[in-house]
Chains A and B, each alone.
Chain A
Amino acid sequence: MEVTLRGAVFRVNQARMTFGLQLVYGPEVAGPIPEQHYDTIIEAFNGYRAGVKALVRGTGNYDHQSRLSRLESVEQISILDPLDVPAQLDDFRGMRAGWLDGEGLAPSQAGLDWLADRFDRCYPNDVPLPYLYPTPEGGVQAEWSLGSREVSLNVNLSTHKAEWVWVDVLTDAEAEKTLNLDDVADWNWFAAELRRMAEVIQ
């Protein structure tokens, strides 16, 4: 079965040409090192302690409980941007209620799946990637620092609504807007806002 995995290369066996991938959320899996991808796998391995993650596409073997047990082949591997959105969202999947010193709701798996899918479908490649954080209410807050503007998008994973807010720390100007993230037009709107803010500082 074709798989797309995000994880850290924590082990390399050069004699056997195999590597171990620690998924951002999930098990550890082993796989073969194709010669053409050797350098990239070593780069990811060397960056393990710095938090470097890789995107691996290939075919996987599953056990009798339908769990991924091994990578059968690796077709493609690349180093992930540190702000890769699916990888950031995967970081939240192991959270439990009470994560914030006894308070705090955990983001739902379905909500994280939805948000990852929306970013994949609707977020342009030419717009700065956000820093993502969990909120005590069980949502996700995306943040950008663009010049003198602090921008945030507070996403409710249940309603799919989001509060878009920016504050200019030099002028105290600010703006806010409620968005419907099931509407691609709203994605286009805030992507255009981010693009405009990013262009001003270049």
Chain B
Amino acid sequence: MNYAARLYRQVHPGWVREGRITSQVFHPTPKDRGFLSVYDGDQITAAESWQHYTEVLGLMSAGVVAVTPAECSQHQIGVVPDPRDLFPEHTLLDFTGLTGNQVRRAARHLGRAANNRGWLFGPVNV
């Protein structure tokens, strides 16, 4: 894994305010079971990932932000390639080894990193 790679995370429109994303973008919900889906930026562009997410998967996204494997590893978040049929860029951020407080702290760090990096695609009006 390229530790400087961009891991693209789609942002739900409800989680953007004046161009700033909430830390919840990087906080798994109970449905996520400790994993968050991202796209491997070494295999796909941000624009292509948004197009795949919205047109192929049919989900809502206001745009694309990114963190790196280095930023994830600083908080003991695993980066796990999880290629699927017609979706080889799929990658998982693995929070399962973290306590609740560690997840909360990591989400804030990753949210800050993503906001500082800025939008890799979008935001678009949805």
* Residue of B17, B24, B108, B109 ringed by the most chain A CB atoms within 10 A: B108
Please state if A83 and B18 are interface contacts (CB–CB under 8 Å).
yes
Residues of B within 8 A of A156 (CB): none
State in angstroms the CA–CA spacing of A95 and B29 once bound together. Answer: 18
CB neighbors of A among B16-71 (8 A)? 17-18, 20, 22-24, 29, 31, 59-60
CB neighbors of A among B62-113 (8 A)? 104-105, 108-109, 111-112
Please state if A134 and B108 are interface contacts (CB–CB under 8 Å).
no
State in angstroms the CA–CA spacing of A102 and B20 once bound together. Answer: 23
CB neighbors of B among A45-90 (8 A)? 82-83, 88
Chain B interfacial residues counted at CB < 8 A: 20
Residues of A within 8 A of B20 (CB): 131, 143, 145
> Within 8 Å of chain B (Cβ to Cβ): is A99?
yes
Please state if A150 and B23 are interface contacts (CB–CB under 8 Å).
yes
Please state if B18 and A103 are interface contacts (CB–CB under 8 Å).
no
Residues of A within 8 A of B17 (CB): 83, 88, 131-133
* Residue of B14, B60, B104, B115 ringed by the most chain A CB atoms within 10 A: B14
State in angstroms the CA–CA spacing of A152 and B23 once bound together. Answer: 9
State in angstroms the CA–CA spacing of A100 and B22 once bound together. Answer: 14
Residues of A within 8 A of B15 (CB): 133-134
Other-chain contact of A131, B18, B104, B105, B112 (Cβ < 8 Å):
B18
> Within 8 Å of chain B (Cβ to Cβ): is A40?
no
Q: Interface size for chain A: under 10, 10 to 19, 20 to 34, or 35 or more residues?
A: 20 to 34
Residues of A within 8 A of B29 (CB): 100, 103, 136
| With contact pairs A133-B14, A141-B22, A143-B22 given, residues A169 and B108 touching in the complex (Cβ less than 8 Å) | yes
> Within 8 Å of chain B (Cβ to Cβ): is A101?
yes
State the majority secondary structure of interface residues on A. Answer: strand
Please state if A131 and B31 are interface contacts (CB–CB under 8 Å).
no
State in angstroms the CA–CA spacing of A131 and B18 once bound together. Answer: 8
User: What is the chain A residue whose CB lies nearest that of B20?
Assistant: A131
Chain A min CB distance to B120 (Å): 19
* Residue of A95, A133, A143, A150 ringed by the most chain B CB atoms within 10 A: A133
State in angstroms the CA–CA spacing of A44 and B108 once bound together. Answer: 34
Please state if B24 and A141 are interface contacts (CB–CB under 8 Å).
yes
Please state if A101 and B109 are interface contacts (CB–CB under 8 Å).
no
Other-chain contact of B31, A103, A152, A167, A169 (Cβ < 8 Å):
A103
Residues of B within 8 A of A150 (CB): 23, 108-109, 111-112
State in angstroms the CA–CA spacing of A145 and B23 once bound together. Answer: 11
State in angstroms the CA–CA spacing of A141 and B104 once bound together. Answer: 13
| With contact pairs A167-B105, A167-B109 given, residues A135 and B59 touching in the complex (Cβ less than 8 Å) | no
Please state if B14 and A167 are interface contacts (CB–CB under 8 Å).
no
Nearest first, the 5 closest Cβ-Cβ pairs linking A and B are A133-B22, A150-B108, A131-B17, A167-B108, A169-B112
Q: Could you list 14 examples of A-B contacts with CB < 8 Å?
A: A88-B17, A100-B14, A101-B59, A101-B60, A131-B22, A133-B22, A143-B20, A143-B22, A145-B20, A150-B23, A167-B104, A167-B109, A169-B109, A169-B112
